[in-house]
A = this chain, B = another copy of it.
Amino acid sequence: MIPDPRLSINQATIRHADLATALAVTADAGVQAIGLWREPVNEVGLDVAAAMLADSGLRFSTHCRGGFFTLPEGPARRAAIDDNRRAIEETATLAAAGADGSHAVLVLVAGGLPDGSRDLAGARSRVHDALAELAPEAAAAGVTLAIEPLHPMYCSDRAVVSTLRQALDLAADFEPSVVGVTVDTFHVWWDPELFEQLARAGLEGRIASYQVCDWRTPLPADVLLARHYPGDGVIDFGPITGAVLATGYDRDIEVELFNAEIWATPPAEAVSRTIAGFEAAVGPALH
């Protein structure tokens, strides 16, 4: 099957593949784009990773991930901010190395409540503070910080940004080229305001990345690993994808799957199944 030209494999889908393998299986399958993760990039070093990406001929769709800045002021927060600075630099370098049509998008996961804290409002305000601190550096590097609202079941321990509306509200103080949003169907499909907020995101020029991933119950014991191939769950990808495209979104569409069974399959097989699921569930909305 010839993959849809807009499909991008997020490296998390083939988590146990190193960078060389991830680039090879993605390109060999005829996929044109990839979203990378920081750990495998830094395993080989940024410059080597950029050269490998350039050699692959793939577009670079996102870098995953920055964020985790809900801690109160102190050394741990400073370390997190500094780490985001490095992630911005990596994103710019990789986007420059990717094929034409690459985008310098750094996906941000907000972080959860600090240990022992019940101050949700405070954690949320510190996400805004971190964006304000990082925005000038992102702007200088030509990088878009793309806040990803995560499903509310992750609110306490992973991401205090839970809805698209909230992510857009957070982004509102910044230029759309500097602070945007990542829309992942898995996280937002349930939201009664989804279509209204997608339209708003379009008007405000904020959709930096669109990702497709399915939802199915029962959830696994580790709810972080609950993500399924498009078509294997209950999400109706047609209307959501149509709404994203109606905003003028013309970038690649990633599939990012955290799922122990998928990780246990050979990377080339996971890519092949991703291509097929994407074509069946998302393809009709694209062509």
Contact = CB atoms under 8 A, between A and B. Distances in A.
Nearest to A215: B156
Q: Is the interface of A mostly helix, strand, loop or mixed?
A: loop
A155 B190 contact: yes
B192 A165 contact: yes
Contacts of A119: 236
A176 to B, nearest CB: 20
Copy number in the complex reads 2
| Residue of A113, A219, A233 with highest tally of chain B CB at under 10 A | A219
A217 B157 contact: yes
Interface string A101-118: 000000000000100011
A9 to B, nearest CB: 24
Nearest to A149: B192
A190 B162 CA distance: 8
A191 B273 CA distance: 35
Nearest to A117: B234
Top 3 A-B pairs ranked by shortest CB distance?
A: A155-B190, A118-B236, A153-B153
19 contacts: A113-B234, A118-B236, A119-B236, A120-B236, A152-B152, A153-B219, A155-B190, A156-B190, A156-B233, A156-B234, A157-B217, A157-B218, A162-B191, A163-B191, A165-B192, A165-B193, A218-B222, A219-B219, A221-B221
